[in-house]
Structure 1
Amino acid sequence: MKNRVLLSAFALTLAATAMPAHATELLQNGNFSSGLTGWTSYVTSVDYGTISPTTPNSGGSPYTVQQAETASFNVTGSGTSNALWLNAGEYQTRPGQFFGQNYEGGGVSQIFTSLAGLATFTADIAFWGTRTDTGGIFSVLLDGVALDAYDFGTTVAGTTRNTLSFSTNLSAGQHTLQLQVVRPYGPAKDVRGQYFDNVTLDQVAAVPEPATWAMMITGFGFVGGAMRRKAKVSVRFA
């Protein structure tokens, strides 16, 4: 009987470790199909950063509140879809400095809640310009720390594409994710846009299938019954 109980417990352990992994998407509206729902615009500096692709701040002008936008664009090279649209840069220089010395801009952020565990991020990015220019540094930040970045450097006319990705262990609770672009120059007519699309942050958790639950419940019942039978004591009176 003892061996049967041990074998049953071992079978339950195997069932638990064989549970399939299911990914949970932690971000809202990562494909920007609903515009900027779930996302909040920000700039790296109110005095120097700008992100709006249609109404960017310019040197000497009164500062205006900056908002990112969305637009249909072929970010991946396989077809157009709605995407985050920025024209980020340093719109005016610091006193005594020149353009090209400081990187400014901004992007969008989102607060999300997670369980403790491994999470994986991916995003498609693209830069579009009409002549040779500085594309900017695209980055993804988690709780204020950059976990991946790509510097487009000097680009030629047309569209240049790449991706961002990372994997990290999250603690349970709220976190903030930022999609950001910075450039050392102000928005220009030849810089038409910086784009993010297909943004995902998946967290994998072990979730039992219905059949696994049934097997585990049956197994626990068997083990419990066996232990009860073992506990019975026969008493004989002379």
Structure 2
Amino acid sequence: MKLALTGAALALTITATPASAATNLLTNGSFESGFTGWTQSLSGMPVGTAPVVIAYNQASQYPTGAFGEAIGTNTVTSASPDAVGNSLAYFSSDTANPHSLSQLVNLVAGTVYNIGFDYYVPRNGYDNPFDATLGFTVGGTAVGTTLSAGSPSGTPVASWQNFATSFTATSSGPQSVAFNFRGGGVTAADFGVDRVYVTAAVPEPGTWALMLFGFGAVGVAMRRRRPLLQMA
């Protein structure tokens, strides 16, 4: 019974101990260092339409603000390991050309990952005549639902919202995590984005407890069967 008791003790310890904070596999997920760690693909966009990093509560014109609209500090609940900080990424569309913001992360095949970000739809962008979409891809494959903001199908967001989902990596190695933004015409809706994260999913404490109890039961069974094997 010694092995079984040891497994039970470990299980109780894990159950009583909070899970450690996950690590963000992305660099600079809160854009506090501008676009450091990120790669922009502008697809032939004219100057003055690229994504920019702006400050919260900054009622100035592009490229230091959201065309005069101050975006309030992000207070939404998120699973991101990163703090909100003072900055956000701002996607505006004065062109119909698509553009993206991406970063390579090392993934392990078969591992489940949590992925998400916070987003805001400025009112001035929503009032533009065309819709805009913001998609999220991993390794070129769409993850979750493409967000839509603007007219006629979108809805203005008066506060910060959170997008979160999970996926299972199908291959190992560096893979691109990317935002893909496209306006439906000139001019279109805008998006603010903050606290982007990719974290490896960690089993809940209760799951670890069940696993350890199972290991303990297997060990006890093997100890009880061993004399029979020796007598044969």
Q: 1:142 matched to which residue of 2?
A: 138
Q: Using the TM superposition, give the Cα deviation of residue 168 of structure 1 relative to its aligned residue in structure 2, in angstroms.
A: 0.7
Identity percentage of aligned residues: 18
TM-score, normalised to structure 2, is 0.60
Is the contact between residue 111 and residue 176 of structure 1 (CA under 8 Å) also seen in structure 2? yes
Is the contact between residue 136 and residue 178 of structure 2 (CA under 8 Å) also seen in structure 1? yes
Is the contact between residue 119 and residue 192 of structure 2 (CA under 8 Å) also seen in structure 1? yes
Aligned with 2:98: secondary structure? strand
The answer to whether residue 196 in structure 2 is matched with residue 199 in structure 1 is yes
RMSD: 4.4
Is the contact between residue 41 and residue 109 of structure 1 (CA under 8 Å) also seen in structure 2? yes
TM-score, normalised to structure 1, is 0.59
Q: 1:183 matched to which residue of 2?
A: 183
Q: Which has the higher strand share?
A: 1
Is the contact between residue 121 and residue 156 of structure 2 (CA under 8 Å) also seen in structure 1? no
Is the contact between residue 143 and residue 175 of structure 1 (CA under 8 Å) also seen in structure 2? yes
Letter in 2 for 1:29: N
Q: 1:114 matched to which residue of 2?
A: 107
Q: Using the TM superposition, give the Cα deviation of residue 195 of structure 1 relative to its aligned residue in structure 2, in angstroms.
A: 1.4
The answer to whether residue 64 in structure 2 is matched with residue 81 in structure 1 is no
- In structure 2, the CA distance between the partners of 1:113 and 1:77, relative to structure 1 (3 Å rule), is closer
Q: Using the TM superposition, give the Cα deviation of residue 72 of structure 1 relative to its aligned residue in structure 2, in angstroms.
A: 0.9
What are the ranges of 5 or more consecutive residues in structure 2 without an aligned counterpart? 57-70, 76-83, 206-215, 228-232
Alignment of 1:1-238 (within 5 A): 4=1, 7-8=2-3, 11-12=6-7, 15=10, 21-22=19-20, 23-43=22-42, 45-46=43-44, 49=45, 55-56=48-49, 67-73=50-56, 74=71, 78=75, 81-88=86-93, 90=95, 104-115=97-108, 116-130=110-124, 132-133=127-128, 134-147=130-143, 148-154=145-151, 161-171=160-170, 172-187=172-187, 193-205=190-202
Q: Using the TM superposition, give the Cα deviation of residue 135 of structure 1 relative to its aligned residue in structure 2, in angstroms.
A: 4.5
Name the CA distance, whole Å, in 2 between partners of 1:207 and 1:130: 42
Name the CA distance, whole Å, in 2 between partners of 1:30 and 1:77: 14
Aligned with 2:195: secondary structure? strand
Greater alpha carbon shift after TM alignment, 15-24 vs 195-204: 15-24
Aligned pair count? 184
Larger Rg: 1
Letter in 2 for 1:146: A
